Amino acid sequence: MNEELEFGDISGKTFRDIAHQAVDWIADYLENMDNYPVLSKAKPGDIKSSLPRSAPETAEDPGDILSDFEKIIVPGITHWNHPRFFAYFSITASYPGILAELLASAMNVNAMLWKTSPSATELEETVLNWLRKMLGLPGTFDGVINDTASVSSLCAMTAARESLSMAIREKGVAGRPDLPEFTIYTSNQSHSSIEKAAIVLGIGQENVRKIDTDSAFRMDADALRKTIAGDIKEGKRPVCVIATIGTTSTTSVDPVKAIVDICHEHGIWLHVDAAYGGSAALLPEMKSHFDGWERADSIVVNPHKWLFTPIDCSVLYCRKPEILKRAFSLTPEYLKTEEAGDVKNYMDYGVALGRRFRSLKLWFILRALGRRKIESIIRQHVAFAQELKQEIEAHPEFELLAPAPFSTLVFRYAPDGAKRDLNALNEDLLIAVNRTGDLFLSHTKLHGIYGIRLAIGNIKTTREDIALAWRIIQREAARNALK
Ligand code: PLP
């Protein structure tokens, strides 16, 4: 081992050399994505078997580490930043975001208290205000950045429980005959994170009422109203309703305007999960999907989904930040500061004490792209999806399984007189398409029908990428049908 090459060499020379190599690698990687199969071709255990069973006793050569990164780790990477990654929700670590992550790591800020980095706190306040205005939300909403929407929704639902003023924070829920049975309402299309939050909060999966949806997979507001009324009659206590703008399977949009009226009638907290769809609120032509969300109690939007921000960055907006604070603030002696009262300490608004400096990347992205550019990219993604939608609808052997209000399509191959079960046929088609390495799609099931999902959201995706994907899907479908 050459001592001069140690990563721990704080003289910085080694770091500078290796960092330049790493940045060159990043630039090459991002420019030459087509050289990589989108979905990793690794088999289970491939990566583990290439790695030593124990950590090294002594420092290793940084060049060797980088070279193993390329040889061992990269082949086991599914390339989320690839323009033909269309699975789940397609995302982007954009250049400014990557740079900001590098700088944030260098400073290694823990944004828990104002004092632990005034810039981190004040930038988070500022950037979330910028984003709030871009989304068209009123100034009554206060934002906080969490790692994921799962955590943002958990925090919102904890605040909803706290708003009941039943001393649950202090006394818990176990062994309390004074407490009613709690209920939560969401659609049968909402994300699993809502049910998970109910588990964590001690409310229980069985008390999550999954309200029926209509033919466009939107929550049936009348069914919601009846279910709430029935539960109240039985002495149950609704904690919150979770509406979704852009559900995971189909990106359907719940009728938030009608739902918020029901919530206000009964004084129930409304949380809106716009983790994916929220970014579309930037577009004036999309405003109708967001009707009523400005009257919700809390909203989650994930910049790490459709706002070109490297994972992780989830924004929770809350109209009653004082309740969020009441739910979470707990300040031991060693975290007390003389400025308390004059400043925001973000540790007071969520579960985590330690917090990454996530606002830096959002700030870089909003500045480096600017509102207009961001709008135009999202608009283009929607246009690409709508163009492909038309092709699918016009194709005699494919069918669309759900409306596509944003940039995600759900469809299946359904040739006339197919001899095979269509679910099995489409499952095989998805495997065949993904095996090409040219694109990556995922799936869902709608009323038992297997559907292929294609989500557009990467900043580098072009019309040619979509055309290539569609050609491959048709080619593999024709091949697969003959088997
Ligand atoms: N809500 C919706 C509508 C989602 O689609 C997802 C993930 O795809 C989530 C929440 C969870 O997001 P996260 O991975 O940030 O927890």
Predicted pLDDT of residue 10: 46
| Residues 159, 242: Cα–Cα separation, whole Å | 13
Q: Six-digit token pair at 333?
A: 């002696």
Pocket test for ligand 1, best of 86, 146, 150 (most atoms within 8 A of CB): 150
Return the exposure string of 182-208: e unless at least 16 CB atoms fall within 10 Å of the residue's CB, then b. bbbbbbebbbebbbebbeebebeeebb
Atom of ligand 1 nearest to the CA of 151: 16
For 189-307, where are the alpha helices, taking DSSP H only? Answer: 192-200, 221-233, 256-266, 303-306
CB atoms within 10 A of CB 316: 28
Q: Calculate how far, in angstroms, residue 233's C-alpha sits from the geometric centre of ligand 1.
A: 33
Predicted pLDDT of residue 482: 53
Exposed/middle/buried for residue 354 (C-beta within 10 Å: 0-12, 13-18, 19+): exposed
Q: Calculate how far, in angstroms, residue 186's C-alpha sits from the geometric centre of ligand 1.
A: 15
Q: From atom 7 of ligand 1, which residue's Cα is the shortest distance away?
A: 248
Helix (H) or strand (E) holding 364: helix 359-394
Q: Calculate how far, in angstroms, residue 153's C-alpha sits from the geometric centre of ligand 1.
A: 9
> Do 263 and 319 meet the contact criterion of CB atoms below 8 Å apart?
no
Pocket test for ligand 1, best of 154, 191, 213 (most atoms within 8 A of CB): 191
Atom of ligand 1 nearest to the CA of 147: 15
Q: Calculate how far, in angstroms, residue 268's C-alpha sits from the geometric centre of ligand 1.
A: 23
Q: Calculate how far, in angstroms, residue 192's C-alpha sits from the geometric centre of ligand 1.
A: 8
| Residues 153, 168: Cα–Cα separation, whole Å | 18
Bond into 28 cis (ω within 30): no
Exposed/middle/buried for residue 56 (C-beta within 10 Å: 0-12, 13-18, 19+): exposed
| Residues 318, 322: Cα–Cα separation, whole Å | 9
Pocket test for ligand 1, best of 88, 193, 298, 307 (most atoms within 8 A of CB): 193
Digits of tens for pLDDT over the chain (483 positions)?
A: 444 445 555 457 788 888 999 999 999 999 999 899 999 999 999 999 999 999 999 888 888 999 999 999 999 999 999 999 999 999 999 999 999 999 999 999 999 999 999 999 999 999 999 999 999 999 999 999 999 999 999 999 999 999 999 999 999 999 999 999 999 999 999 999 999 999 999 999 999 999 999 999 999 999 999 999 999 999 999 999 999 999 999 999 999 999 999 999 999 999 999 999 999 999 999 999 999 999 999 999 999 999 999 999 999 999 999 999 999 999 999 999 998 788 999 999 999 999 999 999 999 999 999 999 999 999 999 999 999 999 999 999 999 999 999 999 999 999 988 888 999 999 999 999 999 999 999 999 999 999 999 999 999 999 999 999 999 999 999 987 655
| Residues 382, 283: Cα–Cα separation, whole Å | 10
Predicted pLDDT of residue 483: 53
CA 434 remoteness from chain centre: 22
Pocket test for ligand 1, best of 85, 91, 146, 273 (most atoms within 8 A of CB): 273
Atom of ligand 1 nearest to the CA of 302: 15
> Do 398 and 392 meet the contact criterion of CB atoms below 8 Å apart?
yes
Report the predicted TM-score, pTM, of the whole model to 2 decimal places: 0.96
Q: Calculate how far, in angstroms, residue 34's C-alpha sits from the geometric centre of ligand 1.
A: 28
Q: From atom 5 of ligand 1, which residue's Cα is the shortest distance away?
A: 248
Q: Calculate how far, in angstroms, residue 275's C-alpha sits from the geometric centre of ligand 1.
A: 6
Q: From atom 14 of ligand 1, which residue's Cα is the shortest distance away?
A: 148
Residue list, ligand 1 pocket, CB within 6 Å? 89, 148-150, 191, 193, 244, 246-248, 273, 275-276, 302, 314
Residues facing residue 453 across a β-bridge: 410, 442
Q: Calculate how far, in angstroms, residue 191's C-alpha sits from the geometric centre of ligand 1.
A: 6
Q: Calculate how far, in angstroms, residue 6's C-alpha sits from the geometric centre of ligand 1.
A: 40
Torsion of CA 172, 173, 177, 181, to 10 degrees: 150
Q: From atom 8 of ligand 1, which residue's Cα is the shortest distance away?
A: 248
Exposed/middle/buried for residue 225 (C-beta within 10 Å: 0-12, 13-18, 19+): middle
Q: From atom 9 of ligand 1, which residue's Cα is the shortest distance away?
A: 149
| Residues 238, 181: Cα–Cα separation, whole Å | 9
Q: Calculate how far, in angstroms, residue 150's C-alpha sits from the geometric centre of ligand 1.
A: 6
Q: Six-digit token pair at 467?
A: 């055309």
Q: Calculate how far, in angstroms, residue 300's C-alpha sits from the geometric centre of ligand 1.
A: 9
DSSP 374-401: HHHHHHHHHHHHHHHHHHHHH-TTEEE-
Q: Six-digit token pair at 427?
A: 């499952």
Q: Computed from CA positions of residues 456, 458, 459, 464, in that sequence, does the dihedral angle turn out positive or negative? A: negative
CA 299 remoteness from chain centre: 13
Residues in CB range of 246: below 8 A, 6 or more apart: 252, 253, 274, 275, 276, 277, 278, 280, 405, 406
Predicted pLDDT of residue 9: 56
Predicted pLDDT of residue 1: 42
Q: Calculate how far, in angstroms, residue 358's C-alpha sits from the geometric centre of ligand 1.
A: 18
Residues in CB range of 82: below 8 A, 6 or more apart: 33, 36, 38, 440, 458
Give the total residue count for the chain.
483
